[in-house]
Amino acid sequence: MNKKRQLLIDTALALFYKNGINCIGINEILKVSGVAKKTLYSHFESKEALILAALAQRHSIFIAWLNKALRGSDSDKEVITALFSALERWFTNSEPLLGNFRGCFFINSSAEFSDKSSDIARCCKNHKQEVRKMIAHYLTKENTPLLDVICIMMEGAITTAHITGEHQVTTKCIDALNNFDC
């Protein structure tokens, strides 16, 4: 049944994001989800397949969340404010869809899997490209330098918030980007 499959993906995503992929074993996912091992391996060929499914799940959740956050912004300034306000809500655990903040799941996963030619690394790279496309879609003008800076500052804000724990990094980004002419 597909319900078990989805339950496995949801459980895996939650545990992977919270603890790191390498720190969570299959058995832990089975215990928490209450699913049997045989069922897992009937749905997924290996742990890596489950990881990829969890990454895909996180990707679609994040993209949908981002799209909703940016919807309605019809000036570059509004896009910037909407984006970084949404990030701040994420950082302060006010976005239930994204779970308790522990950095970007894709940055974290990239850190755990060094092989750049692996499916996992490819998946993380792809996620960042899609995020960039989504932001570009909402910017009014074809303004590549601004898009570049927004994306770089977004990565910086996520990383800074994760490591140092200072959430007010987002207001610094908004202030800086409003002073940015191009």
Partner DNA sequence: ACAAAAGGAGACAGATTTGTCTACAATTGC
Partner DNA sequence: GCAATTGTAGACAAATCTGTCTCCTTTTGT
User: Is residue 115 near DNA by the rule CB under 7 A?
Assistant: no
Direct distance between the N- and C-terminal alpha carbons of the chain, in angstroms, rounded to an integer = 54
Give dist(CA 122, CA 75) in Å, integer. 32
What is the crossing angle of helices 169-178 and 144-164, to 10°? 160
Q: Return the residues of window 103-132 that contact its own copies according to CB under 8 A.
A: 103, 106-114, 116, 124-125, 128-129
The H or E element containing residue 22 is none
d(CA 66, CA 103): 15
Stretch that binds DNA, among 22-30, 67-75, 148-156, 159-167 (CB under 7 A): 22-30
Min dist CB 56 to its own copies, Å, is 17
Smaller CB separation from DNA, 30 or 56 = 30
User: Quick one: 10 or 175, whose CB is closer to its own copies?
Assistant: 175
Q: Within 19-38, which residues bind its own copies (CB under 8 A)? A: 19-20, 22-23
Distance in angstroms (rounded) separating the CA atoms of residues 76 and 141: 8
Q: How far is the CB of 180 from its own copies (least distance, A)?
A: 6
Alpha carbons within 13 A on the beta-carbon side of 168:
0
Binding of DNA at residue 162 (CB under 7 A)? no
Contact between 63 and its own copies by CB under 8 A: the answer reads no
Tell me how far, at minimum, the Cβ of 46 lies from DNA, in Å: 3
With CB under 7 A as the contact rule, the residue among 14, 41, 63, 172 that binds DNA is 41
Spell out the residues 6+ positions from residue 115 whose beta carbon is closer than 8 angstroms to its own: 121
Residues with Cβ within 8 Å of residue 12, at least 6 apart in sequence: 24, 29, 50, 51, 53, 54
Q: Does 125 bind DNA (CB under 7 A)?
A: no
Contact 157, 84 (CB under 8 A): yes
163 binds DNA (CB under 7 A): no
Residues forming the site for its own copies (CB under 8 A): 18-20, 22-23, 102-103, 106-114, 116, 124-125, 128-129, 145, 148-149, 151-160, 162-165, 169, 172-173, 175-176, 179-182
